[in-house]
Chain A
Amino acid sequence: MLISARMGESESGGARILVVRCDCGFEVRGTGDEVVERMQDHARNVHNMTATREQVLDRATSA
């Protein structure tokens, strides 16, 4: 799995903002649903990989 792992959370108007970073330097930030969707797109389009929701969230860090 290319995506690096750190876990954390922050509050922004009640929304939990996460950051997920790929080894290639690509980074997404947003709510859980947003980072999962965008990182799954990135993994598929750039790395030909299938990433599950759990795999993305396991590797999220605080914004």
Chain B
Amino acid sequence: MLRLNDGVPELAGPCGPEPWYLEVGPDEDPVEVVSRLSANLLGPPLLAHSTSWRRGRGGVILSFIVVIADGQAPDFEGVPIGRAELARNSATEAARSIAAAQVIEHGLRHLSWLAKEDQVVKGVLSDEWKRLLEGYVPEPFQHV
């Protein structure tokens, strides 16, 4: 869950700086679950986008970036996001252990790509967000 605070992207949400894990049942749509719980807990998000996948916790973990408006959900403390090197093993094998920071870094690179390629994302993100994402190398969806 990302929002801008004085031009600095920060991670916010019910789990603060920890990854926010949601369980998705076999009959559920991951995008619907992420959007619904985000809206319930923080108010309607600007966008919710799946950015990568990996194996873990006995299943498949889909990573989502959810962007909320500046100043939205002030009750949830935000943590400024630092830049992290992406975790990679090989082209065919996902990195075994990936720090949340690296997942977020990829998410921001993917968001940078969407901000150029996706008309909906382009329309939703503020100019400040787009300027900030210029600093990230655009990357399509991938497993990390």
Binding site for B on A (CB under 8 A): 2, 23-26, 45-49
A48–B30 Cα gap in the complex (Å)?
A: 11
The A-B contact count (CB < 8 A) is 34
A5–B38 Cα gap in the complex (Å)?
A: 27
A2–B41 Cα gap in the complex (Å)?
A: 19
Shortest beta-carbon contacts, A-B, top 3: A24-B15, A49-B23, A48-B22
Q: Which label, helix, strand, loop or mixed, suits the secondary structure of the B interface?
A: loop
Question: Which residues of B in the span 1-37 have a Cβ within 8 Å of any Cβ on A?
Answer: 14-16, 18-25, 28, 33, 37
Q: B90 near A: Cβ within 8 Å?
A: no
A44–B121 Cα gap in the complex (Å)?
A: 29
User: B18 near A24 (CB under 8 angstroms)?
Assistant: yes
Question: Which residues of B in the span 35-85 have a Cβ within 8 Å of any Cβ on A?
Answer: 37, 40-41
